[in-house]
């Protein structure tokens, strides 16, 4: 008898594997929380990083060894008590995400301009100043 593909000989194993690998808010990689658009604006690049629910003071940008690192850290508490002061519900959330971009080692902090509005962090910076371009193609011999 033909059975649907769902009912194969490893059905139980697959169900439990899928249950624990189902993407949820807490199991998503942190770079999915920071969806980023990169625009080439001629002499500059613009990063548009989505950080919904974060405040400006929750976001930090750091430049280190040619890498621009954007980090966001958020903590919130939500308490609801009855008239006796007993908890009816208490929820707290703590989240942190971080993403790094190689921007070149010749850039300095003053080359970057950042703004945050409506959950979008916009960072504009010039293209690397001293890009080493290979003028002539050279082949490396393989022995």
Residue from 135, 42, 62 nearest 103 by CA: 62
Domain residues for the domain of 81 are 29-126
pLDDT digits (tens, 9 = 90+) for 65-85: 889 999 999 887 777 777 777
pLDDT digits (tens, 9 = 90+) for 30-78: 445 689 999 999 999 999 999 988 899 999 999 998 899 999 998 877 7
pLDDT digits (tens, 9 = 90+) for 85-128: 777 777 777 788 999 999 988 888 999 999 999 999 999 999 87
Q: What is the 3-state secondary structure (H, E, C) of 90-138?
A: EEEEEEEEEEEEECCCCCCHHHCEEEEECCEEEEEEECCCCCCCCCCCC
The answer to whether residue 10 is domain-embedded is: no
Taking phi over 0 as left and psi of -120 to 50 as alpha, with beta for the rest, 67 belongs to beta
Q: What is the mean pLDDT of the chain?
A: 76
The answer to whether residue 74 is domain-embedded is: yes
**Separation between Cα atoms, residue 123 and residue 117, nearest integer Å:** 12
Token pair 């990063």 is found at: 47
Residue from 19, 31, 23 nearest 69 by CA: 31
The answer to whether residue 23 is domain-embedded is: no
Query: What's the total number of domains in the chain?
Result: 1
Token pair 């921007």 is found at: 103
Q: What is the CATH number of the domain that holds 62?
A: 2.60.40.790
The answer to whether residue 14 is domain-embedded is: no
Say whether pLDDT at 135 is over 90.
Answer: no
Q: pLDDT band at 136, cuts 50/70/90?
A: low
The answer to whether residue 58 is domain-embedded is: yes
Q: What is the pLDDT of residue 138?
A: 63
**Separation between Cα atoms, residue 99 and residue 59, nearest integer Å:** 12
The answer to whether residue 134 is domain-embedded is: no
Q: What is the pLDDT of residue 129?
A: 62
């Amino acid at each position: 008898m033909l059975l649907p593909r769902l009912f194969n000989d490893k059905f139980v194993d697959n169900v439990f594997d899928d249950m624990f690998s189902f993407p949820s808010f807490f199991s998503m990689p942190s770079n999915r929380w920071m969806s980023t658009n990169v625009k080439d604006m001629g002499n500059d690049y613009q990063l548009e990083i989505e950080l919904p629910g974060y405040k400006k003071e929750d976001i930090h940008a750091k430049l280190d060894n040619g890498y621009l690192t954007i980090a966001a850290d958020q903590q919130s508490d939500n308490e609801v008590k009855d008239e006796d002061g007993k908890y009816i519900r208490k929820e707290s959330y703590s989240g942190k995400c971080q993403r790094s971009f190689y921007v070149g080692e010749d850039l300095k902090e003053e080359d970057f301009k950042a703004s945050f509005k409506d959950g979008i962090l916009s960072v504009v910076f010039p293209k690397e100043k001293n890009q080493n371009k290979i003028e002539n193609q050279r082949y490396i011999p393989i022995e």
